[in-house]
Amino acid sequence: MKKIITIVAGDPNSINSELIFKTWKNLNIIIKKKIILIGNYNLICEQIKKLKFKINLSKINHIDDIQPLNSLKILDFSLRFKDCFNVSKKDASKYVIGCLNYAHTLCKQGKINAFINCPIDKDLIKKKGIYGVTEFLGKKNFSSKFSEVMFLHNKKLSVVPITTHLKIKDISKNIKEKLIVKKVKTLLFYYQKLFNKKPKIAILGLNPHNSELEKNSEEVKKIIPAIKKLKKYSIINGPMVADNFFKDEYKKYDVVVGMYHDQVLIPFKNFFKLDAINVTLGLDYIRVSPDHGTAKDIILKKRGDPKSLIKCVEFLNKLK
């Protein structure tokens, strides 16, 4: 299999195309030769015209078609659009799901072993049990051994939420001892595979001050039993009290595991901003995405920062 870096164009109503074009301009010729973009050729051509970027684009029909070398190659997902930056929700949903399925199929066929997907509005794929791309791909890669894991990564620190895109009122009932164990085991397996070392992990409690470890708390009933089962696999400490952990204590660890999305993503994004990537672990392949949203409020303003997408490309370029 040739070394291919595949990027899924993502939400058409976003700054994705701007970031893709800016990223392309920042890459060296060796990496440019490896890149293929899954998206709609005509849509992307219209977007590049409106953004006034000067980049050569070429439409290809097969993942193995690497010619011509001096252009951004687009593996075309055919769909008609009336307006390139004002696509209807129905068409945008069809486009996003179609492109994700295309990349998933290429991975399952062994044509590629990973892909980057640019940000999407979660409403385009949301349905029961699916709140974002992490869960969308997890459903397509069901495994009794592994669980889909949201892994936010910077070379200084990584974080993982046990529950992802849930409302606060639904978090407690979704935290289970078995889920914590399965997600941390998944994290351990893939971390060693990606970075060739066992991580030192801190696991946070759920409640303020860990509910003072009251006997009916989630800490005592679910989190501590899970940590006891996991300690034989690596250096794993917890439950740590979350409110002061991110002052200095986090610096002792490779990965911090939290109980819900914002518990670990708020401090992580404040520390590293766009100097980070989002990796989905537990799949049959590696999926990466930039650590930012669709930024619809700055479409066509050319104010998007491509740093996180560039980091995604560099990450996949280093994968074996």
Write out the residue limits of the CATH 3.40.718.10 domain(s) in the chain: 1-141+283-320, 149-277
Amino acid at 10: G
Amino acid at 101: N
Report CA torsion sign: 291, 296, 297, 301: positive
Decide the pairing of beta strands 72-76 and 57-60: parallel
Q: What does the pLDDT look like over 254-308, one tens digit per residue?
A: 999 999 999 999 999 999 988 999 999 999 999 999 988 898 999 889 999 999 9
Long-range contact list for 134-143, CB < 8 A, 24+ apart? 134/164, 134/165, 134/280, 135/164, 135/165, 136/100, 137/100, 137/104, 137/280, 137/283, 137/287, 138/280, 138/282, 138/283, 140/104, 141/282, 141/283, 141/284, 143/282
CB 105 within 8 A of CB 141: no
Task: Enumerate the β-bridge partners of residue 183.
Answer: none
Q: For the full predicted model, state whether its pTM sits above 0.75.
A: yes
Q: What does the pLDDT look like over 3-58, one tens digit per residue?
A: 889 999 999 999 999 999 999 999 999 999 999 999 999 999 999 899 999 889 99
pLDDT of residue 1: 45
**What's the fold here for domain 1-141+283-320?**
Isopropylmalate Dehydrogenase (3.40.718)
pLDDT of residue 68: 61
Q: What does the pLDDT look like over 120-173, one tens digit per residue?
A: 998 999 887 677 888 889 888 877 788 999 999 999 999 999 999 889 999 999
Amino acid at 212: E
Tokens 């051994």 belong to which residue?
145
Report CA torsion sign: 22, 25, 31, 36: positive
pLDDT of residue 8: 97
**Residue 305 CB-density burial (10 A; 0-12 exposed, 13-18 middle, 19+ buried):** middle
Question: CATH homologous superfamily of domain 149-277?
Answer: Isopropylmalate Dehydrogenase (3.40.718.10)
CB 245 within 8 A of CB 202: yes
Please state whether 219 falls in left (phi above 0), alpha (psi between -120 and 50) or beta: alpha
